[in-house]
Chains A and B, each alone.
Chain A
Amino acid sequence: MSKTEATLNGDSQWPLWEVFVQGPEGEPHSHAGSLHAPDAALALQNARDVYSRRGGVSSIWVVPAKDIIASSSAENGLMFEPMDSKVYRHAQFYKVPRGVKNL
């Protein structure tokens, strides 16, 4: 990791990082929140201090927020609405035939 990436953003803050925290081992990492830090090593330390202080954490990921590619809410209609009319993609759509014991 580079030694110092402490370039200031337009809002005079350090770069923004998104934090993902894993509970018990094997669980997925979930988004916990975000923080500011000058570089990756301090982002990890800050994440430890801010998001794992109540325990129960087995792993942390930090990701530069600028490197996350997000969908645009303006495209929600295009991206997600078609899925709403496809009930057959849900398991509940299918009736379990009577008499089936091992499904």
Chain B
Amino acid sequence: MNADLFNFVAGLADDRLVLGHRLSEWCGHAPILEEDIALANIALDLIGQAQNFLKLAGDIEGAGRNEDQLAYFRDPAQFLNLQLVEQPNGDFAFTIARQAIFDCWSVYLLEALSSSSHQELAALCVRAAKEDRYHWKHSSTWVQRLGDGTAESHQRMQSAFDALWSFTPELFQATAAQQKLVAAGLIPNLSSLESQWRKAMNELLEMATLKVPTVGAAAGRPARSQHTAHLAPMLSEMQGLARAFPGAAW
């Protein structure tokens, strides 16, 4: 049971660590200064959440690994993030679409987990949900403006959602391990997440004059155990310093 809970909490952490790192790649490159700061703020929120979840995961595991060891000294195959969040930034529309898909899902997930019987996990989720509600407000604001903006911004926003939609089934793939945690009462039943997320995304896309993409039957792969080719290069950049100078402090 501990291993299942470790994997679940580490998955929450890795989603945020990887997405936070991707967003941090915008620093100094965003379309305008104000958005540069907004994306950096969101990145820092997510990395802070990842730090908390990884620390908790380390405590649950009980093998003496702290958040830094988990973040910097696991290899790509041991990362448990969604494929969605490891996708490269693309253009601004692509980053915003990736963010909106994630934020909407994350708010519902964290709100559900806020009633976990695992008190520490619940407390971290209450705090993180507050941050993610603002992230969702920001990303959905942009989806509306770009979708319902110029012909070019509309087309870019639509292509971004079309390209990313095939990564969305993984959000809702319930694993056997997850079912065990539900049965043990450690996490609430997450089966209503998909319909909540679909409803909110449909409303947003409609307001933004965008079409809801369709996606074929979900591939039968186990959730979170496989990655696209984009994760490894990102991690080697992220982990480079910690591995070259173990224990480096500043």
Contacts and interface: CB of A to CB of B under 8 A. Distances in A.
Interface of A: 3-4, 6, 14, 35-39, 41-42, 45-46, 48-50, 53
Interface of B: 32-35, 37-38, 41, 134, 137-138, 141, 145, 148-149
B141 A42 contact: yes
Contacts, number: 34
A45 B144 CA distance: 14
A53 B34 CA distance: 12
A55 B203 CA distance: 32
B141 A41 contact: yes
A23 to B, nearest CB: 20
A58 to B, nearest CB: 16
Contact of A36 (B32, B38, B41): B32
25 contacts: A3-B148, A4-B145, A4-B148, A4-B149, A6-B145, A14-B32, A35-B34, A36-B33, A37-B34, A38-B145, A39-B145, A42-B141, A45-B38, A45-B138, A46-B34, A46-B35, A46-B37, A48-B134, A49-B34, A49-B37, A49-B38, A49-B41, A50-B34, A50-B37, A53-B37
A9 to B, nearest CB: 13
B149 to A, nearest CB: 7
B240 to A, nearest CB: 28
Residue from B35, B134, B137 having most chain A Cβ neighbours under 10 A: B35
Contacts of B137: 45
B99 to A, nearest CB: 14
